[in-house]
Chains A and B, each alone.
Chain A
């Protein structure tokens, strides 16, 4: 298979566990606001602080959004699912158990296809709803590090916010595939609107189960669990580092130990973590405070029908209208950019030209200004006005870049007004261009001689001189045509 990690007769076997923070207004089991970045402990109540007697009630919207994600991942949504208690002791869990789902998750077996070169499919084991833990603010030591801390302060704003945990089968065969899978999964969840999936804010978190085995073997090797890979790049690098570590152990005749590892982006190294609970004895049992969640299959069919266009479908549509695979995949995985592209393409009626602008000038400006496409001051409508002036020959590519910059800087300007104001209209008619060409030819007799003597490349210099004389406003192609005409006369 293309893109597989294989070394010295061993192949990689990777599964992911992805936590998605759902973008609901309120928490999973209480009405506290589900909001990132507020002052510590200002979104808390008796339920999410686990005061005795406080009872949880499940959030209908979290259930609905989870079912939509499950449907997008091709999951089966069973008629009934159930909450369970997962017991562990840690200050981030006020009840000393987390409400999660165990043997009856909301979404069961699914599969997710990653298209493009070296396309592959990853089976989804399950997707289940649970509550997030509180945030520990560690005093002393390195930020986020536990050992050596002088004590911690707990912020319960995040405690009890809804999480969807998506678990894959170990179908991923390389760090690159892991990144591609997660990129497309993220784009899918964002398109659905279930989460903003911002890895920096922690609303998308991925852990990886990594092992190696002899190529062709059906059995799995001992796996390790990698945590804390909070960017696509770290995910890829962390898995790569772990595969290399396991391969070195196996080649030295040593065994891989089952353990949880923490990836340190600063050093690229992996450190072993103590487990939260000995032997992961979570003692799951059905949550008596919550009733099962039932699904009606007609309602689910309606929900599936209301899903927006998903990235995989968008990829197929964009390659269908003639965009190259790489371009289509880029647009398919960037929801804001894709929406912008669709709008622009509809306005100018040419998908390829639209894609060139979106992935060229627009994306450069978005990257430089740290914006998403929907926040750009150059709206599709304004850009369409500019593209129209290029297409009808009013301005050339060089001037178009200048106009684009003007549209970024002055949000009230239109392309046509900028062209007029700065006199950027192409030096048009054959007369005008002809005069410039004659003038340049007269001023450069040596180059003319050289060209006629067979030095073809001199034409580039002459075009440049003509362009300069036109104040950069001539059509380079037209100039070249005229020059050749005159020189061969």
Chain B
């Protein structure tokens, strides 16, 4: 399997999906770092793992469900305490799509 080389455009695309603004120097550096990480994954992919199911969870047991019981959460004052621009009732956010 050949190594994957991320192009600067791919790095910018991923950055825009993650809402990250990168300058050209960062694009170049992160391109190198991401390529190296993908290369590491490729090394794993070369192992004989065709019969191994994907390990999505470290815990082998299924079904950690909770019963449907309501309890009160955080008081509103506390919930709003860390908001940068709260109103008396809620979290104010900037206009969207302006």
A contact set with B: CB distance below 8 Å: 24-26, 30-34, 39-46, 48-49, 57-63, 80, 82, 87, 89-91, 137, 146-147, 149-156, 274, 277-278, 281, 283, 286, 288, 290-294
Contact = CB atoms under 8 A, between A and B. Distances in A.
Contacts of A24: 68
A42 B88 CA distance: 12
A204 B70 CA distance: 22
Interface in B35-52: none
B71 to A, nearest CB: 4
A291 B61 contact: yes
B81 to A, nearest CB: 11
Given A25-B69, A32-B70, A146-B96, 8 more contacts: A26-B69, A33-B72, A43-B73, A49-B74, A80-B62, A153-B87, A286-B56, A291-B64
Contacts of A32: 70-73
Nearest to A140: B95
A291 B68 contact: no
6 contacts: A49-B74, A58-B66, A61-B68, A91-B93, A151-B95, A152-B93
A436 B80 CA distance: 81
Interface string B55-68: 01101011111111
A33 B97 CA distance: 32
A25 B70 CA distance: 6
Given A30-B73, A281-B17, A63 B90 contact: no
A41 B68 contact: no
A63 B96 contact: no
Contact of A63 (B16, B65, B89): B65
Contacts of A62: 68
Given A41-B90, A288-B56, A294 B63 contact: yes
A371 B70 CA distance: 29
A293 B74 contact: no
B65 A89 contact: no
A150 B97 CA distance: 11
Contact of A292 (B62, B70, B76): B62
A137 B90 contact: yes
Interface string B76-91: 1001100000010111
B21 interface: no
A107 B33 CA distance: 40
Contact of B66 (A57, A82, A154): A57
Contacts of B72: 32-33
B73 A293 contact: no
Interface of B: 16-17, 19, 54, 56-57, 59, 61-74, 76, 79-80, 87, 89-97
A43 B72 CA distance: 7
- For the residues of B in contact with A, the DSSP-based class is loop
Contacts of A89: 19
B17 to A, nearest CB: 6
Given A82-B56, A149-B95, A153-B89, A59 B17 contact: no
Nearest to B71: A31
B63 to A, nearest CB: 5
A291 B63 contact: yes
Given A31-B70, A32-B70, A57-B64, A152 B57 contact: no
Nearest to B65: A60
Contact of A149 (B56, B57, B96): B96
B57 A291 contact: yes
Nearest to A281: B17
Given A151-B92, A151-B95, A44 B74 contact: yes
Contacts of A156: 79, 91
A312 B19 CA distance: 49
Given A49-B74, A149-B96, A60 B79 contact: no
Contacts of B96: 90-91, 146, 149, 152
Contacts of A80: 62
Contacts of B65: 57-60, 63, 293
A60 B72 CA distance: 19
A156 to B, nearest CB: 7
Give the top 9 A-B pairs by smallest Cβ distance, nearest first: A45-B73, A61-B68, A60-B65, A153-B90, A294-B62, A26-B70, A33-B70, A91-B93, A286-B56
Nearest to B93: A91
A290 B71 CA distance: 21
A61 B76 CA distance: 27
Nearest to A283: B17
B63 A40 contact: no
B62 A151 contact: no
Contacts of B68: 24-26, 59-62
A152 B63 contact: no
Contacts of B63: 291-294
A79 to B, nearest CB: 10
A60 B62 contact: no
B95 A41 contact: no
A236 B96 CA distance: 30
B77 to A, nearest CB: 10
A454 B79 CA distance: 87
Nearest to A154: B91
B90 A154 contact: yes
A291 B59 contact: yes
Nearest to B68: A61
Contacts of A48: 73
